[in-house]
Amino acid sequence: MRVDFSSTVKRDLQIIAGNHCMICSTPTTKPRIAHIIPAAENGPRSEYRKHYSEEFIASSKNGLSLCNTCHDLIDDEDLNTYTIQELFNINNSFREKFLLEEEYKRQLGINNQENYIELEEFYKNLITKLEVTDEEIEIVIEKHTDFKKIDYLKKIEINKFNIRQKRKIKSLYAAELFVLKENLEENPIIAIKLKAAIQILYNRLSKKSKNQEEIYDKMLEHMYDPSKQVLGNEIILTYYFVICEVFLK
């Protein structure tokens, strides 16, 4: 008996793959959805079919979203070089990454895909400019895991910011930093990574200058992201100014 994917499962696999081939990463808006354990009893890898239920065969755990070339490759027993475990590993890798990103978005309170991508790109852009790796960020995170809040008005006075900077911070704070404020305080992974990157940037600049006004403006320059600016470097820096130890000196 043939066990096909439903239209929902096919759509889910395409979304999980991010409109790319799961094997060669070629962008594709019209993928071909392949079974790992075959839909038919005489399909490729059919010798494994008896070990799996029809429910599993019809699920997204058993599928790959592929370009035409890779689809034909894994269905050809003479050309296919992938073991069944390697094909399952490809599926698992994409599904785990997708679920992790969905959890990031849930914690960040960002339901809009464009905003989420922008936040992730902002972080990647910043660490590229800083010439630090994710591994170096992790070392900073291990030393500084908590956000240390103080009253932001007091913080403005401590740092002796100029009138323009004071107005900017107050106006952004008054808008409640609507993209970030509520959920970033729960310390999700991207929030902590961003904080670590911003802390590294602040420490570097503070070695060259003790003038906090100058450091603030320099940080905005370094944090400029030439992409869509959905979030904006000023909003992100102000958020971290308000809620954590950056600028506590």
pLDDT given at position 176? 45
What per-residue confidence (pLDDT) applies to 98?
83
DSSP per-residue string spanning the chain: ---PPPHHHHHHHHHHTTSB-TTT--B-SS-EEEESS-SSTTSTTGGGGGGS-HHHHTSGGGEEEE-HHHHHHHT-TTT----HHHHHHHHHHHHHHHHHHHHHHHHHT---HHHHHHHHHHHHHHHHHHT--HHHHHHHHHH--S-----HHHHHHHTT--HHHHHHHHHHHHTTTTTTHHHHTT--HHHHHHHHHHHHHHHHHHHH---HHHHHHHHHHHT---S--SS-HHHHHHHHHHHSSTT--
In this prediction the pTM is 0.47
Comparing 93 with 206, the larger pLDDT belongs to: 93
Domain boundaries, the chain: 7-98, 109-243
Residue-wise pLDDT for 158-200, tens only, equals 777 788 777 777 766 655 455 555 545 544 566 777 778 878 8
